[in-house]
Amino acid sequence: MRIERVQLRHIRLSLVHPFETSFGRETDRDIIIVKAWADGLVGYGESASMAKPFYNYETTETCWHIQRDFLVPWLLEREITDGAELVRLFAAVRGHNVAKTGLEQAWWDLKAKTEGQPLARLLGGAKERIECGVSIGIQESVERLLERVGFFLKQGYRRIKIKIKPGWDLDVVERVRQTYPQIPLMLDANSAYTLADTGLLKALDDYDLMMIEQPLRYDDLIDHAKLQSQIKTPICLDESITSPAHARWAIELGSCSIINIKPARVGGMHQARRIHDICQKHDMPVWCGGLLESGIGRAHNVAICSLANFRLPADLSASSRYYAEDVVLPPWEVDSEGMMTVPSAPGIGVEVDEDLMDKVTVKEQTFSA
Ligand code: OSB
Ligand code: MG
């Protein structure tokens, strides 16, 4: 397949609720939607960038720069026949995985549409429905958090994830467990702790947590291994796993018991699938995290979730949980059993609302071969 034309669009969507983590508070999302043309078909991908370099070092601006000045010209120069080839082509740029992902996903959507197959099936996924969880940011009070938890449970979500940080941790978990003794519950620290906090992290063992996500440094594998040997709660890595090699290192070192795979963090669908395969071989469960994607990035996340070793509920919530209006039609829904349906139409399986896209566009540029 030869991509003839690529359009980058920086769009801005307002979040229905501000999203607060240990690294800051977001009120809107600045992301880049990639549209690519080949053989009369159109494919879409998403660079789920952040405006600020706090989750990782990329920003919407760095994504634009890396795409415009390096990745797009390379992509338009040649025919790409498989996903591995595209990863190799982009490998000359070190890192910048979020920038790579938008283009890589647009290629995968086009490839699936060319073959008349749903993307999930092209990737080798068999599941028809995906288990959904919800990630709840830091709130202004514990009462408000309990209310939010109740609200999402009533909608059917199968697992609750709570963001923590020093000062918003043990007491909060205690209160949530008092109110909801049985729910599948997990925490995400986004790197807010160090080994000096081992005592506090050990105390969390009493709360029957499914896992604690990324307690220590964003780039660490060694201290996480030391911590995992001292606590019972399974450690799940997010930020630390940016490539298949990192997944292998984490498994060899014992840095975690579970891996959160976000296509955007690892450079796209091919790398996400490789990490899935490595973990599957070592019997390590994975699940799909999110970066508050628009409906386009969410479609790619749904497709990857259909692979067998995605064994735990995803951070995949309904469009309305994030945005008043999503850029896809139909919007993503979660049913009363907390499940999302994998689309059966070719490619990502949802239409893009181009009128809405026009309304939320901050900047756009089109490139031709
Ligand atoms: O650490 O998983 C994270 C959102 C932005 C940045 C980092 C994270 C998150 C989430 C939200 O937890 C997951 C979602 O998209 O629902
Ligand atoms: Mg996380």
Under the phi-then-psi rule, with left for phi > 0, alpha for psi from -120 to 50, and beta for the rest, what region is 29?
Answer: beta
Any idea which residues carry the catalytic annotation?
163, 262
The one-letter code for the residue type at 80 is I
The pLDDT assigned to 276 comes to 98
- The per-residue pLDDT for range 28-68, each reduced to its tens digit, is 999 999 999 999 999 999 999 999 999 999 999 999 999 99
- The per-residue pLDDT for range 80-135, each reduced to its tens digit, is 999 999 999 999 999 999 999 999 999 999 999 999 999 999 999 999 999 999 99
Domain 121-341 sits in CATH 3.30.1360.120: no
Ligand 1 contact, 290 CB (< 6 A): yes
What lies within 8 Å, CB to CB, of 296 at 6+ separation is: 33, 44, 45, 46, 327, 328, 348, 350, 352
Q: Where does the pLDDT of residue 1 fall: very low under 50, low under 70, confident under 90, or very high at 90 and above?
A: very high
Q: Which of 257, 244, 241, 195 is nearest to 83 (CA)?
A: 244
CB 92 within 8 A of CB 304: no
Where are the domains positioned within the chain? 5-116+354-368, 121-341
Second-level CATH architecture of 5-116+354-368: 2-Layer Sandwich (3.30)
- The per-residue pLDDT for range 286-313, each reduced to its tens digit, is 999 999 999 999 999 999 999 999 999 9
SS (H, E, C) 66-104: HHHHHHHHHHHHCECCCHHHHHHHHCCCCCCHHHHHHHH
Ligand 2 center–CA 314 separation, angstroms? 11
Ligand 1 contact, 173 CB (< 6 A): no
Residue at token pair 């080798």: 124
Report the C-alpha gap between 288 and 34 in whole angstroms: 21
User: Closest Cα to atom 6, ligand 1: which residue?
Assistant: 291
What lies within 8 Å, CB to CB, of 16 at 6+ separation is: 320, 321, 322, 323, 324
CB 360 within 8 A of CB 29: no
Ligand 2 center–CA 185 separation, angstroms? 14
Ligand 1 contact, 30 CB (< 6 A): no
At 163, is the secondary structure helix, strand, or coil?
Answer: strand
The pLDDT assigned to 331 comes to 97
